[in-house]
Amino acid sequence: MGKLTTFMICAFIYMAVAASAAELKEAYQATIGADGVQRVEILGGGYFFKPNHVVVKVNVPVELKVRKEGGIVPHDIVIDAPDAGIAVRESLSTEPKVIRFTPTKVGKYPFYCSKKPPFFASHREKGMEGLLEVVE
């Protein structure tokens, strides 16, 4: 009975982790509001971004509303694609911040947390990264 219980607990944990990972990998398609702006809310924390794959249209203004979970660990969001009209470096807080830009070039652009404590892996290396995909 003990081995069966252990197996069932391990199987449950594995399925929960797999479901969480699958949820974070689904692409979020931004919709265009009546004012012509694409809006996306991104939550960061615990070495993740949610959603971590965002799809937006080229040459349409974007507003990212970004924030982090509570806690003392600092996080930021960086998107370094100035050739595509996207240059973001913003510290995250529990209060939402709005970042505005208009992507000018189709492509896939990584976003990530640039924080790195001394002697430890960076937040990006721990999985705090995502993808901004700009489409026609």
Single pTM value for the model: 0.81
Q: How far is CA 124 from the centre of its chain?
A: 11
Between the alpha carbon of residue 47 and those of residues 37, 41, 64, the distances in Å are 28, 17, 19
Tell me the domain boundaries of the chain.
Answer: 27-135
Q: Which two tokens stand for residue 18?
A: 């797999």
User: Which CATH number does the domain 27-135 belong to among 2.60.40.420, 3.40.30.160, 3.40.50.720, 2.40.50.100?
Assistant: 2.60.40.420
Across the chain, what does the average pLDDT equal? 88
What are the φ and ψ backbone dihedral angles of 61, each rounded to 5 degrees? -55, 145
pLDDT of residue 19: 43
* Bridge partners, 10 (sequence order): none
- Say which residue, 46 or 1, is predicted with more confidence: 46
Residue 20 pLDDT exceeds 50: no
Nearest by Cα to 116 from 131, 128, 98: 128
Cα–Cα dist 134/119, whole Å: 35
Task: With H, G, I as helix, E, B as strand and everything else as coil, classify residue 103.
Answer: coil
Q: In this model, does residue 5 exceed pLDDT 70?
A: no
Give 66-103 pLDDT, tens digit per residue: 999 999 999 999 999 999 999 999 999 999 999 999 99
Mean pLDDT of 113-118: 97
Q: Mind spelling out the 3-state secondary structure of 108-121?
A: EEEEECCCCCCCCC
